[in-house]
Structure 1
């Protein structure tokens, strides 16, 4: 791996991470409410 290749892959990883982070942020309320519906006794 050359330095350029490493920079490219790290940029791709950052893009993927930010993409998933946005997905999680958008769906966080849905996910939390689903967890609460499945297991209402669990405290957050």
Structure 2
């Protein structure tokens, strides 16, 4: 269980920034390739 507890520890700000930058780069690549991505409507997920 100790190993699982470590997985839920908060991330460092630098780690979060790196993740955001990587996600932004991927989105830019999708836009540049002209790939259409359907928007997500949160109301579709209501149970």
Q: TM-score normalised to the size of structure 2?
A: 0.50
- CA distance in 1 between counterparts of 2:12 and 2:30 reads 27
Q: How many aligned residue pairs are there?
A: 26
1:15, distance to aligned residue in structure 2 (A): 0.3
Residue in structure 2 matching 1:21, options 24, 31, 36 = 31
Which segments of structure 1 move beyond 4 Å, counting only runs of 4 or more?
none
- Computed over aligned residues only, the root mean square deviation of the Cα atoms, in angstroms, reads 1.8
Higher helix content, 1 or 2: 1
Gaps of at least 5 residues in structure 2 are: 1-10, 37-47
Q: What is the 5 A alignment of 1:30-41?
A: none
Q: TM-score normalised to the size of structure 1?
A: 0.53
- CA distance in 2 between counterparts of 1:19 and 1:10 reads 14
